[in-house]
Structure 1
Amino acid sequence: MIDPHGDRAVYRQLADQLRADIASGEYGPGSLIPSEMTLMQRYGVARNTVRLAMTMLREEGLVVTHHGRGTYVRDALPIRRVASSRYRQALDAATTGAPLDWAEYRAESSFQEVPATDQVAGLLGIDTDTSVLERRILFLDGNLPQQLSMSYLPLDLVAGTPVADPRNEPWVGGTVAALASIGVTVTRVDELVRARMPRPEETRALSVAVGTPMLTITRTMFAGDRAVETAVDIVVPGDRAELEYRIDLAPVATTE
């Protein structure tokens, strides 16, 4: 199975073999990968070859290594759908009391008043250094971190209201419902989605494997013409979410 004289590097051939074994279920989620010595003997390769192959698989997010315990196939993680309809569903839930699956999550929150950066000020349509409420919220499903959000609201809009109290997180219905509770109706949401590698603090907070890309959503909410909230950014591990957007195109009226 391993050709030391082949055109493909030996460690890549070994990684291919182990990847195929994981895909076939020979090594299922949570399974212990054989030790370095076992793989060396089984495939007739050097220790460094095994280590390079395992590095490839770790960078692909297929395995995780726990020092002193060995290397394991990553557990299958639940995939959360992030749909464009979530804001309407959130508002409906807040007004009708209907349950939302993500409303059962718990949140670790920290709020503080800060001066708006150039980026935040530009998104909110305010002057740089204007006071805003910064909200850092880590959402968890059980013990599994799902997303990290850094968002900002004009302080003159929310100061002294329940929206500014981190003890109210996670708010049933999210920010749309929170703002509705103080008489602010969100009428439009703009989102910009990107992909990038995680920053060190995101790797720690979200417990992601090496090589896992992040989906980032820069969001701005409007009440009429006024921007009332911006998130820079909502960060979601790419292996735990899928984005679903529905775009309705009304027929274009024609005139004769």
Structure 2
Amino acid sequence: MPKPAYLRIADELRRGIRDGSYPPGGRLPTIATLSTAHSVSEIVIRQAIAVLRGEGLVETRRGGGTVVRIRPPVRRVAMDRYRVETQPLTVPATSFTHDQRITWSDYRLDRVYRRVRADADLAALFELPPGTLLLRRRFVFYAKGEPQQISINYLPWDVVAETPVADPAREPWPGGTPAQLAYLGHPPTRVEEAVRARMPTPEESETLRMTGGVPVVTITRRMFSGDRVLEVCRDIIIPADRIVLDYSIDL
């Protein structure tokens, strides 16, 4: 069965984007031009562009036509990233600044703190009774002014109450959460992470300045000190087109 015209046109435009004929930041031909070139109606061209927009390859700007998305720099996240935060620091840094290869002055962190009770899922992750009091911290991480990551993490209130770790004015904290736990006398000894993918919520898309069609990678993290879970991230949220997860396994 022949492929519909809008899909054939989308295939051709996609090839042009991938081979550089339509470079990042450049405009596609106008709808009228494409309509004439392919001898189809403008409705068919709009359908083709909608396919590319849904794939996150282009964005349509009011009065500016259809523009090829500028691909954001990809950060590589390796298994040993937390060692940056558990070793003595000669200059302020965290695993995020290490991943982004930015200096401390290029780093910004928006934060909102509040106390909450553990729901059933959080209680299971912490291995604590439901209703346990926790400190909830919502962070938005910026590199050179651009939002790159959302992180929602939880700490047991009995560990952080009336300490500098519970004070949002102390953020960003060199060494991040591992350094904070070490400061409290509970240095991390193990990290567990579970990685998933999904489409972003409208709030996540707006916060991270994402275009349509791009999923997010979500990482649920548990940080242990000895046998006790002292931090849960539910979740770390990163646009999927900005990250590569590197894993190595010693056999």
On whether the aligned pair clears a TM of 0.5, the verdict is yes
Larger radius of gyration: 1
Q: Which residue, out of 49, 57, 62, partners 2:44?
A: 49
Q: Which residue, out of 220, 245, 248, partners 1:246?
A: 248
Q: Is 1:97–2:99 an aligned residue pair?
A: no
Question: 1:252 aligns to what?
Answer: none
- Report deviation, 1:142: 1.9
* Gaps in structure 1 of 5+ consecutive residues: 1-5, 250-256
Contact preservation (8 Å) 2:108, 2:145:
no
SS in 2 for 1:85: helix
What is the rounded CA distance, in whole Å, between the counterparts of 1:27 and 1:168 in structure 2?
46
- Report deviation, 1:98: 4.3
What is the rounded CA distance, in whole Å, between the counterparts of 2:208 and 2:89 in structure 1?
32
Q: Indicate the percent of aligned positions where both proteins have the same amino acid.
A: 45
Q: Which residue, out of 183, 207, 213, partners 1:181?
A: 183
SS in 1 for 2:241: coil
What is the rounded CA distance, in whole Å, between the counterparts of 2:54 and 2:173 in structure 1?
36
CA deviations over 1:130-163 (Å, ceiling 9, x no partner):
1100010010112322111111000010111121
Question: 2:70 aligns to what?
Answer: 75
CA deviations over 1:62-113 (Å, ceiling 9, x no partner):
1111223221101121111111111112211xx2324543463211111111
CA deviations over 1:22-77 (Å, ceiling 9, x no partner):
12212111001122112111221111111111111011111111223221101121
Question: 1:190 aligns to what?
Answer: 192
Q: Which residue, out of 191, 202, 215, partners 1:200?
A: 202
CA deviations over 1:185-221 (Å, ceiling 9, x no partner):
1011111111111112111111112111111110001
SS in 2 for 1:183: coil
For residues 216-255 of structure 1, the aligned pairs below 5 Å read 216-249=218-251
SS in 2 for 1:45: coil
The TM-score normalised by the length of structure 2 is: 0.92
Name the Cα RMSD after superposition.
1.5
Question: 2:18 aligns to what?
Answer: 23
For residues 147-166 of structure 1, the aligned pairs below 5 Å read 147-166=149-168
SS in 2 for 1:201: helix
SS in 2 for 1:239: helix
Q: Which residue, out of 73, 81, 86, partners 2:81?
A: 86
What is the rounded CA distance, in whole Å, between the counterparts of 1:132 and 1:31 in structure 2?
48
What is the rounded CA distance, in whole Å, between the counterparts of 1:17 and 1:170 in structure 2?
47
- Report deviation, 1:171: 2.2
Q: Is 1:64–2:66 an aligned residue pair?
A: no
* Gaps in structure 2 of 5+ consecutive residues: none
Letter in 2 for 1:194: R
What is the rounded CA distance, in whole Å, between the counterparts of 1:97 and 1:125 in structure 2?
36
SS in 1 for 2:197: strand
SS in 2 for 1:119: helix
What is the rounded CA distance, in whole Å, between the counterparts of 1:30 and 1:221 in structure 2?
41
Letter in 1 for 2:144: G
What is the rounded CA distance, in whole Å, between the counterparts of 1:183 and 1:195 in structure 2?
34
Matched residues, number: 242
